[in-house]
Structure 1
Amino acid sequence: MTLKLRAALMAATALCGTSAMAETTLNALFMAQAAYSEDDIRAMTASFESAHPDVKINLEFVPYEGLHDKTVLSQGAGGGYDVVLFDVIWPAEYSENGILLDVSDKITEDMKAGILPGAWTTVDYDGKSYGMPWILDTKYLFYNKDMLKQAGIDTPPATWAELQEDAQTIKDAGLVDHPIVWSWAQAEAAICDYTTLLSAFGGDFLKEGAPEFQTGGGLDALHYMVDSYKSGLTNPNSKEFLEEDVRNVFQNGDAAFALNWTYMYNLANTSEESKVAGNVGVVPAPGVEGSSSVSAVNGSMGLGIPSTSENPDLAWDYIVHMTSQPVQDTYAKLSLPIWQSSYEDTAVTAGQEELIDAASKSLAAMYPRPMTPRYQEMSMALQQGIQEALLGMASPEDALQGAADNSGL
């Protein structure tokens, strides 16, 4: 460990003020995909344990798809979690059902002033804060620079229509069979891609509490997905892919374009296993002429304390450490910091200037998925509708109307 890294982590631990009782164990639930790697999280945690020798953090990693249910089911299990990672879409449900503690009184003025304003939307609901923002993220359009150059394309697409045109040019040139890859498995990943498109086409999820996605921009978004799929421009396996599948296809050189989260930039650009390292470009997800210049989904996540935790004060100290600026700046290659001044630090920005330039536009345009206690039910209905449309089992109109009818809203 370098002296600079050691100093940064020790500075972070100094932010934690509660003394631990002997041999206290905290159970923490994290995600085993995207954003920070498991190794990064273990290193962050080790520095906290080093400063708190009587504390042991028991880390559990699950796929994103297991985070919600693991958190909810642990409420009645006894000996559950002390710290959990949660998605921006869950605070409404968690608030209504008393899943997470309200930590509003623990948020300091320095935190409020130093953290990017948009990051607070990750953890806030109905005037209360249910944790600290930790992962500030949206989906970007990644592209293979060399492949575009070979096809005679000078600049990456600025609109979704241009993406289709460029993909067709690349396909016609014989550079790759299916130029675009997405994460359209029947999971939340597909909703994130759909939200990005919905935002570009000027759609709405809800209007006065009722489903609105089956009309206007929401319908246009699904038509775009189906058209891209049926044309062969989209990898047909996209309907079964999650984000890691997208990364693997792209970094294997089997796609010219991919929609994915921040973490893919440095992994695909530097990993020894990537065949496209050094050729990965990134821009904001495109817009729609006359409607939007860029598009983005709010894919941020926070760290919170379950209401059943027996060590909430120590859990908060751990969260403060994990979300602190020194820690976030040290591990900024897979997830960009939540702190405003971090972007003035060349140690953070060096080597990822292109990504940060894209982030300056995308993070300002992040479109929220609905903040409703019934979100899980709505999302599952919409996931099914998207699959039905992609598979030709229903028209986009019928698929979205069915999702609206089954949304529970």
Structure 2
Amino acid sequence: MNRFFGRTLLSATLLTAPLSLPAFAETQINALFMAQAAYSEADVRAMTEAFTKANPDIKVNLEFVPYEGLHDKTVLAQGAGNAYDVVLFDVIWPAEFAANNVLVDVSSKITEDMKKGVLPGAWTTVKYDEKFYGMPWILDTKYLFYNKEILEKAGIANPPKTWEELAADAKIIKDKGILATPIAWSWAQAEAAICDYTTLVSAFGGDFLKDGKPAFQSGGGLDALKYMVDTYTSGVTNPNSKEFLEEDVRKVFQNGDAAFALNWTYMYNMANDPKDSKVAGKVGVVPAPGVAGKSEASAVNGSMGLGITSVSKHPDEAWKYIVFMTSQATQNAYAKLSLPIWASSYEDPAVTKGQEELIAAAKVGLAAMYPRPTTPKYQEISVALQQAIQEALLGQSSPEDALKTAAENSGL
């Protein structure tokens, strides 16, 4: 080798070598989210990009699955070598996840500012047995959406305040030939149906459990299923509701084929987007109705939280990411598909502008949120109730018999 060339090559290597080494030790964390409703995948990616820009030593590997796959993916990954560090979890899972050591107890990490600033109802999302298993992130309940133009055509001055009024209004719309099936629900044999059912159970003053045993087969639980069956058999409910998930309901409503629809927060701004919706500018939203003498409004707790898995090798970085994603600044910047968990956000014009009607409904709905049963056996109860709802809607069983069987199959 030419000595001069060798010295030149060595000098060049010495000069460039430091530049090719990373300036920091990068830690990678894996995070699991759902690919539907609330924050969109694009929103989560944008939030995460902002986090990594502020924390260049942490790389976040994102994975998205449909809601229906979120629970099992979280549980099955616990024994895998590439397990998740951060997972999105539903309000119905902390009891099971705590009992099976899936999530880390982060009670000691919750600051006083967090406790004071976050809405009280939001904390129920991540709390079990007086311990916190994450931070609330998606604060959500179902609202009654209505098509203002269709109600006007039918001569209905105001949206219904009770479920009885809703059925009566839907019959007026049907009888006048404006829409054949005015109400759309998400009653597929999935968790979506349990959310609609829970909303009605809350309205009728029902209980899922009493003294740890099923109580939904009588009282308000039975009244709720009877109402579902009545609206279905009377023809005011879209018959395809028994196969619909929330996205199906949104599409039907946006196409102008529903006068009323029960759905989550995210539908409000999507249905008001003229690029994708035929009903933009005609969308009304109110709290889900109540039942005369029993309730003013009804609501299901459909909130979700972000937690650290017990197998995470990077719990500190995972918590740093969760704090960023649930921060007021991040949530306020993305408040069009999911409303913030922070109380003071609801007085912020940046959050309320353009969705004043939704915020007004949220102030009532979020305060009325009713929980699905808090038990490690939740999955068994949910599956049994999903089956009962389908059987009752299809006329294969009476509401009484269907719920009695569900109670027997609940595992409690």
Counterpart Cα distance in 1 of 2:65 and 2:395: 32
Deviates more, 1:169-178 or 1:214-223: 169-178
Q: Which position in structure 2 is the counterpart of 1:274?
A: 277
Counterpart amino acid of residue 263 in structure 1: Y
Q: Decide which of 192, 197, 212 is 2:195's aligned counterpart.
A: 192
Q: Which amino acid aligns with 2:206?
A: G
Query: Which of these residues, 361, 364, 372, is aligned with residue 375 of structure 2?
Result: 372
1:118 equivalent to 2:124? Answer no
Q: Secondary structure at the match of 1:303?
A: strand
Match of 1:329, SS?
Answer: helix
Return the alpha-carbon distance in structure 2 between the equivalents of residues 267 and 96 of structure 1: 38
Q: Which amino acid aligns with 2:133?
A: Y
Question: Which string of whole-angstrom CA distances, capped at 9 and with x for unpartnered residues, describes residues 83-141 of structure 1?
Answer: 00000110000000000000011101110111111110000111110000001100000
Superposed, 1:325-404 pairs within 5 Å as 325-404=328-407
Question: Which residue in 2 is equivalent to 1:302?
Answer: 305
Query: What stretches of structure 1 of length at least 5 have no aligned partner?
Result: 1-19
Of 312, 316, 321, 1:318 maps to 321
The aligned residue for residue 51 of structure 2 is 48
- Measured against aligned partners, the alpha-carbon deviations of 1:200-239 in whole angstroms (never above 9, x if no partner) come to 1111000110000000110000000011111111111100
Letter in 1 for 2:191: E
- The alpha-carbon deviation at position 55 of structure 1 amounts to 2.1
Rounded to whole Å, the distance in 2 between the matches of 1:100 and 1:194 is 28
How many Å separate the matches in 2 of 1:171 and 1:141?
A: 18
Q: Percent identity?
A: 76
How much does 1:23 deviate?
Answer: 2.6
Question: Match of 1:5?
Answer: none
**Aligned partner of 1:84: which letter?**
V
Aligned residue in 2 for 1:65: 68
Q: For residues 344 and 286 of structure 1, what CA distance do their matches in structure 2 show?
A: 25
1:256-308 deviation line (CA, Å, top 9, x unaligned): 00000000001101251100000000000000111111000000100001101
Q: Deviations over 1:285-342 (max 9, x none)?
A: 0001111110000001000011011100000000000000000000000000000111
Counterparts of 2:237 and 2:63 in 1: how far apart (Å)?
35
Q: How does 1:205-244 map to 2 (within 5 A)?
A: 205-244=208-247
**Cα separation, 1, equivalents of 2:112 and 2:291:** 39
Kept after mapping to 1: 8 A contact 2:58/2:317? no
The structure-2 alpha-carbon separation of the partners of 1:21 and 1:271, relative to structure 1 and needing over 3 Å to count, comes to: farther
Residue 98 of structure 2 corresponds to residue 80 of structure 1: no
Structure 1 segments, 4+ long, off by >4 Å, are: none
Structure 2 stretches of 5 or more lacking a match? 1-22
Equivalent residues of 2:346, 2:352 under 8 A apart: yes
Residue in 1 that maps onto 2:148: 145
TM-score normalised by L of structure 2 = 0.94
Give the alignment's TM-score, normalised by structure 1. 0.94
Q: Which SS does the other structure have where 2:124 is aligned?
A: helix
Give the superposition deviation at 1:177. 1.2
Query: Which residue pairs with 1:8 in the alignment?
Result: none
> Is 1:107 the equivalent of 2:110?
yes
Write the letter of the residue equivalent to 1:162.
E
Aligned length, in residue pairs: 390
The range that moved more, 245-254 or 56-65, is 56-65
Question: Between Structure 1 and Structure 2, whose CA radius of gyration is higher?
Answer: 2
Corresponding residue number in structure 2 for 1:127: 130
Going from structure 1 to structure 2, the CA distance change for 1:21 and 1:210 (only over 3 Å counts) comes to farther
What is the distance in 2 between the residues matched to 1:256 and 1:21?
Answer: 57
Which residue number in structure 1 is paired with residue 6 of structure 2? none
The aligned counterpart of 1:156 is 159
**Alignment check: 8 A CA contact 2:270 2:276 kept:** no
1:177 is matched with 180
Partner in structure 2 of residue 256 of structure 1: 259
The one-letter code sitting in structure 2 at the alignment partner of 1:79 is N
Distance 2:24 2:175 in 1: 66
- In terms of mean alpha carbon deviation, does 262-271 or 96-105 score higher? 262-271
Who is 1:9 aligned against?
none
SS in 1 for 2:178: coil
Structure 1 CA distance, aligned partners of 2:216 and 2:195? 14
1:22 corresponding residue in structure 2: 25
Q: Distance between the aligned counterparts of 2:149 and 2:372, measured in 1?
A: 35
Equivalent position SS for 2:400: helix
* TM-superposed deviation, 1:147: 0.5
**1:21 deviation in Å?**
6.4
Q: CA separation in 1, counterparts of 2:180 and 2:123?
A: 42
